[in-house]
C-alpha cells in the first residue's frame, strides 16, 4: 500500500476493536504480529509512530462499566485512565521483546492546535523518532473535557502526522477501506481503492463506530484524510483484521495528496499573519533551497516582535524566500544571530533548539 515502506516516517493508527476483544482482553497475538512488522520496518530505517486507541474499551471492562465506558464523560475518563496504564504496559512489553523502546505521549486537542504547544509536541516527536524510539500516542482522555476532545484518534493521527513531518498515515481498522456505503448494513456497497477528491466521498460514511468500541466511525476517518492530504500527506485506510498488517499486501483505500510542497505551504501560510522576519545570508538561503533548516549561523538580523511558534518570513539577499514558524522568540533569536549552534546553550542559558526555523515548519515560496 502506497507503499508504506517508501515513507521515511509513517504514522500507524490502530482502532479499539483491533486492540481489545469484546470480552475486554488485549488481542495480544495480533499485536505481537504487528509489533514484529514495526520492528522489521524500523530495522530497515523507517521511523514509525503509533496512535493507539483502546484505553476506554480496556478500562471499561476492568471497571465493569456499562456501554463500553461511554455512558457519561466521567465514566469515559475513568475508563481511559484505567485502560491507558494497561495499554502502555502492553505496548512497552511487546516492543521491548523486539528490542525497541516505547515512549508514551498523551495529547489533547489544545496541545496540537496551540502553536507553541504544537511545536513542543513536534520537537518531542522528532527527537523520539530520531532516537529510534517508538512513540505510542493517544488522546489524554482523562483530562480532556468534552468541548476540547478530538474524540477520535483518526484526526489525532492526521495531526500527529503533520507534527512529525510524516510522509504517510495508515488507519488500521476493522474494515478494509471506504465503501460507497457502510458495508455492514448495505450489501450493495462497493469498495473504493483510491480517492483524489474528498468532497466526492464525504457523504458515504454512516455516523458512529461500526465496532461499537471506538468513537470515530468512517466519518472521522474521512475527516482525518482531509487534514492529512491537506498537509500533503497521503492517508490509507486498511484492515487490521489480518495477521502482520504492515507486511501483507491487502486491499485498502488510499487518499492521495497532490502537490505536497504547496499543500504544506498553504497549511503554514493559511490564516496566519507573519509576526516578523529573519534576514539571512546567501549561504543560508541556498541551504533552505536544499530543504535544510534555518540555522542561526546564517541569520543576519530580525524585524518584528515575534514569539516562539509565530509565523515569520525568511528574507534572503534577493527578497522573501520562505515562511516558517519561529523556534525562539525575537529577543533570543537576536542574541543567536550569526552564532554557531554549539554556542547557543552558553548564550541563552537553556537547552537550545538546533535551528531558528526547523525544516518541518518551513515552506519555501
Ligand X SMILES: N[C@@H](CCC(=O)OP(=O)(O)O)C(=O)O
Ligand Y SMILES: Nc1ncnc2c1ncn2[C@@H]1O[C@H](COP(=O)(O)OP(=O)(O)O)[C@@H](O)[C@H]1O
Q: Is 138 annotated as a binding residue?
A: no
Q: Which of 27, 82, 85 is nearest to 59 (CA)?
A: 82
Beta-carbon neighbour count of residue 185 at 10 Å?
9
Q: Of the listed pieces 25-33, 54-62, 223-231, 328-336, which binds ligand X according to CB under 6 A? A: 54-62
Q: Of the listed pieces 34-42, 133-141, 316-324, 353-361, which binds ligand X according to CB under 6 A? A: 133-141
| Residue ranges in contact with ligand Y by CB under 6 A | 15-17, 173-175, 178-179, 181-184, 204-206, 209-211, 214, 216-218
| Residue 173 vs 313, nearer CB to ligand X | 173
CA 166 to chain centre: 7
Q: Of the listed pieces 34-42, 184-192, 208-216, 265-273, which binds ligand X according to CB under 6 A? A: 208-216
Q: Which three cell numbers stand for residue 46?
A: 523507517
Backbone angles phi, psi at 309, to 5 degrees: 95, -10
Q: Is 88 annotated as a binding residue?
A: no
Q: Is 37 annotated as a binding residue?
A: no
Instruction: Say whether residue 140 binds ligand X (CB under 6 A).
Output: no
Which of 37, 152, 176, 310 binds ligand X (CB under 6 A)? It is: 152
Which of 37, 141, 176, 310 binds ligand X (CB under 6 A)? It is: 141
Q: Which of 158, 235, 160, 190 is nearest to 1 (CA)?
A: 235
The least distance separating ligand Y from the CB of residue 186, rounded to whole angstroms, comes to: 8
Q: Which of 238, 240, 222 is nearest to 230 (CA)?
A: 222
The conformational region for residue 338 under phi > 0 = left, psi -120 to 50 = alpha, else beta, is left
Q: Are strands 102-107 and 134-139 parallel, antiparallel or unpaired?
A: parallel
Q: Is 52 annotated as a binding residue?
A: no
Beta bridge partners of 277: 303, 313
Instruction: Say whether residue 54 binds ligand X (CB under 6 A).
Output: yes
Instruction: Say whether residue 316 binds ligand X (CB under 6 A).
Output: no
The least distance separating ligand Y from the CB of residue 113, rounded to whole angstroms, comes to: 21
Partner from ligand Y, ligand X, none contacting 218, C-beta within 5 to 8 A by type: ligand Y
Q: Which three cell numbers stand for residue 25?
A: 482482553
CB 228 within 8 A of CB 255: yes
d(CA 63, CA 69): 9
Alpha-carbon Rg for the chain in angstroms: 21
Instruction: Say whether residue 215 binds ligand X (CB under 6 A).
Output: yes
The least distance separating ligand Y from the CB of residue 196, rounded to whole angstroms, comes to: 17
Q: Summarize the annotated binding site for ATP as residue ranges.
A: 13, 173-174, 215-221
**Which residues of this protein are in contact with ligand X, per CB under 6 A?**
15-16, 53-57, 80, 138-139, 141, 152-153, 209, 213-216
Amino acid at each position: 500500500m502506497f507503499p508504506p515502506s517508501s515513507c521515511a516516517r509513517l504514522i500507524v493508527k490502530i482502532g479499539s476493536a483491533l486492540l481489545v476483544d469484546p470480552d475486554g482482553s488485549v488481542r495480544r497475538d495480533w499485536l505481537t504480529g504487528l509489533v514484529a512488522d514495526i520492528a522489521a520496518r524500523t530495522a530497515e530505517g523507517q521511523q514509525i509512530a503509533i496512535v493507539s486507541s483502546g484505553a476506554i474499551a480496556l478500562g471499561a471492562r476492568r471497571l465493569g462499566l456499562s456501554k463500553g465506558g461511554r455512558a457519561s464523560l466521567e465514566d469515559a475518563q475513568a475508563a481511559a485512565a484505567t485502560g491507558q496504564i494497561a495499554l502502555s504496559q502492553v505496548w512497552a512489553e511487546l516492543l521491548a521483546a523486539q528490542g525497541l523502546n516505547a515512549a508514551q505521549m498523551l495529547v489533547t486537542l489544545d496541545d496540537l492546535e496551540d502553536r507553541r504547544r504544537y511545536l513542543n509536541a513536534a520537537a518531542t516527536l522528532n527527537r523520539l523518532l530520531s532516537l529510534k524510539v517508538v512513540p505510542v500516542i493517544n488522546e489524554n482522555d482523562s483530562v480532556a473535557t468534552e468541548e476540547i476532545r478530538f474524540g477520535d484518534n483518526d484526526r489525532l493521527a492526521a495531526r500527529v502526522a503533520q507534527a512529525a513531518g510524516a510522509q504517510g498515515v495508515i488507519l488500521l481498522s476493522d474494515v478494509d477501506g471506504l465503501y460507497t456505503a457502510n458495508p455492514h448494513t448495505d450489501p450493495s456497497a462497493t469498495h473504493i481503492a483510491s480517492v483524489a477528491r474528498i468532497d466526492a466521498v464525504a457523504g458515504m460514511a454512516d455516523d458512529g463506530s461500526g465496532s461499537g468500541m471506538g468513537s470515530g466511525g468512517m466519518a472521522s476517518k474521512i475527516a482525518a484524510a482531509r487534514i492529512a492530504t491537506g498537509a500533503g500527506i497521503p492517508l490509507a485506510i486498511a484492515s487490521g483484521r489480518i495477521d502482520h498488517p504492515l507486511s501483507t499486501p491487502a486491499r485498502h483505500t488510499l487518499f492521495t495528496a497532490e502537490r505536497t510542497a504547496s499543500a504544506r505551504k498553504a497549511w503554514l501560510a493559511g490564516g496566519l499573519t507573519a509576526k516578523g522576519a529573519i534576514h539571512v545570508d546567501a549561504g543560508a538561503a541556498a541551504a533552505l533551497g536544499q530543504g535544510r533548516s534555518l540555522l542561526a549561523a546564517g541569520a543576519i538580523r530580525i524585524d518584528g516582535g515575534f514569539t516562539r511558534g509565530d509565523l515569520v518570513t525568511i528574507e534572503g539577499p534577493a527578497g522573501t524566500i520562505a515562511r516558517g514558524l519561529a523556534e525562539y522568540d525575537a529577543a533570543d533569536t537576536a542574541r543567536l544571530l550569526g552564532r554557531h549552534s554549539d554556542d547557543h546553550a552558553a548564550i541563552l542559558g537553556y537547552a537550545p533548539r538546533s535551528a531558528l526555523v526547523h525544516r518541518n515548519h518551513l515552506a519555501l515560496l
